[in-house]
Amino acid sequence: MPLSAKAQPAIARTASVARTHMRYYVLALILLVTAINLGDRANLSIAGNGMAQELGLDAVAMGYLFSAFAWAYVLGQLPGGWILDRFNSVKVYGAALFLWSFFTFLQGTLSWLPAGMVVATLFVLRFMVGFVEAPIYPANNYIVSAWFPLKERGLATAVFSSAQYVAVMLFVPVMGALSHALSWHYVFWFMGALGMLVSLFWFWQMRSPDQHPRVNAQELAYLRDNGALIDIESAKGKAAPPKLAAIAILFKSRMMLGIYIGQYCITALQYFFITWFPIYLVKGRGMNILEVGFVATLPAICGFAGSILCGVLSDALLKRTGSVTIARKTPFILGMAMAMGLVFCNFTESLYVVVALMCLALFGKGLAQIGLAVVVDTSPPAIVGMATGVFGIAGNLSGIVTPIVIGYTVQATGSFIIALYFVAAHALLATLSYLLLVGRLRRLDQPEQPINVPGAH
């Protein structure tokens, strides 16, 4: 039966409605919260010099305190991933943001304690920050999987992975200025209060795409038709909870072993930059903490640029070749090769050359920041949270080892020369792992099927 005259204009108006782009707003919010996350990991490196002087902490003690976060982060990965595989990611994320910010705020009160309790209390508080933050990157993976189609997921993952550099650009200068002008206490009070306020904004704004009031039918259809898992949250309550035994498939794969080694190594670079790098500039290069707050932003800007380029390059390669293997491995290998350049800081006295080499190293690290997209591309959908948790364990074991090893070497030698060799060696090992171990990327529940873009040749 022919359509009525009144019905035809209505259909035309519906067809012509512009597609909303709420996924980019969601991505910006994820980027902000993840930057706060990384800022709270790095705040001890800014407050550390003043804190060490006031509280009498040596390099070894600082190394263990830097590692406290990673101990808890490792222990929390599998429980955090299991919780995310079972419960709503948005709610878990918001609650975690509030709690870790509260524990961050408390670190500013340490000088009120008796001297004998300071180190133990700070270790416990850093431990609690790490434990509560553990679900965040698995939650990011869930949210990006729901909000972004496959062809945009590389860039989306690169954007939120760039938060470590955004944290340095946004928060390190502020924390450095607070520490210099007031005291180290205000670093923790500022970051803690900011996080608690943003957690309230998160609960107000965030929803899954199929429940968000500002997503129209056109955007929802675009997401669904292009591989976004828009109902991944609503499906959690209907399915049986995943069992920890389900992760066995991850440990039987040579591909995953190579990915885990790569993540361990790239995280060694991350922990050097968020823990010892500011102290290296103060003690190894003679800068004051206010100068460090601003100089440290230069490598961070380069890291951010590399991270965004990683996503652009990966998505472009995916579109051109249809191969996730080429799209994901290429930026990682190129980036880690660049990151090896930081070892040449040992052969120069020029602060300008040091900063340039650190800029190159962080640009390379940013370019290689593709691991979370690799996990989404290779994990069985039912255990994305736990798979990301195992990935996080692999990386943050390095977060335990790296600060402690650097602390001992600095204490023993009085310099950072061995520390820089140690960090550069990790970049070399990461490159070799992706070249020799990872092989072709494929989803583990379909071991013989390569991951290709539908319609690509």
Give the pLDDT confidence of 292-319 residue by residue, as tens digits.
666 777 887 888 888 888 888 888 888 8
Reported as a single tens digit per residue, the pLDDT across 374-411 is 887 787 766 766 777 788 788 878 878 888 888 888 88
User: Is 437's pLDDT higher than 50?
Assistant: yes
**Res 381: pLDDT:** 66
Q: Is residue 5 part of a domain?
A: no
How many structural domains comprise the chain? 1
Q: Is residue 457 part of a domain?
A: no
Reported as a single tens digit per residue, the pLDDT across 97-129 is 999 899 989 888 877 767 667 778 888 888 888
**Res 193: pLDDT:** 92
Cβ 287 vs Cβ 417: under 8 Å: no
- Give the confidence band of 208 by pLDDT, cuts at 50, 70, 90: confident
| Reduced 3-state DSSP string for the chain | CCCCCCHHHHHHHHHCCCCCCHHHHHHHHHHHHHHHHHHHHHHHHHHHHHHHHHHCCCHHHHHHHHHHHHHHHHHHHHHHHHHHHHCCHHHHHHHHHHHHHHHHHHHHHHHHCCHHHHHHHHHHHHHHHHHHHCCHHHHHHHHHHHHCCHHHHHHHHHHHHCHHHHHHHHHHHHHHHHHHHCCCHHHHHHHHHHHHHHHHHHHHHCCCHHHCCCCCHHHHHHHHHCCCCCCCCCCCCCCCCCCHHHHHHHHCCHHHHHHHHHHHHHHHHHHHHHHHHHHHHHHHCCCCHHHHHHHCHHHHHHHHHHHHHHHHHHHHHHHHHCEHHHHHHHHHHHHHHHHHHHHHHHHCCCHHHHHHHHHHHHHHHHHCCCHHHHHHHHCCHHHHHHHHHHHHHHHHHHHHHHHHHHHHHHHHHCCCHHHHHHHHHHHHHHHHHHHHCCCCCECCCCCCCECECCCCC
CATH code, 307: 1.20.1250.20
- Give the confidence band of 447 by pLDDT, cuts at 50, 70, 90: very low
Average pLDDT over residues 427-454: 73
Q: Is residue 110 part of a domain?
A: yes
Query: How many other CB atoms sit within 10 Å of the CB of residue 170?
Result: 18
**Res 340: pLDDT:** 92
- Give the confidence band of 363 by pLDDT, cuts at 50, 70, 90: very high
Q: Is residue 11 part of a domain?
A: no
Q: Is residue 443 part of a domain?
A: no
Residue 88 carries which side chain, given as an amino acid letter?
N
Q: Is residue 442 part of a domain?
A: no
Q: Is residue 333 part of a domain?
A: yes
Residue 6 carries which side chain, given as an amino acid letter?
K
User: Is 8's pLDDT higher than 50?
Assistant: no
**Res 143: pLDDT:** 83
pTM of the predicted structure, to 2 decimals: 0.67
User: Is 457's pLDDT higher than 50?
Assistant: no
What is the torsional sign of CA 312, 313, 318, 319? positive
- Give the confidence band of 362 by pLDDT, cuts at 50, 70, 90: confident
**Res 14: pLDDT:** 45
Q: Is residue 441 part of a domain?
A: no
**Res 181: pLDDT:** 77
Q: List the domain range (segments joined by +) for residue 423.
A: 20-436
Reported as a single tens digit per residue, the pLDDT across 214-244 is 877 777 777 777 766 666 666 665 555 555 5
The alpha carbon of residue 444 and the mean position of all alpha carbons in its chain are separated, in whole angstroms, by 23
**Res 290: pLDDT:** 63
User: Is 170's pLDDT higher than 90?
Assistant: no
The mean predicted confidence, pLDDT, of the chain is 78
**Res 134: pLDDT:** 76
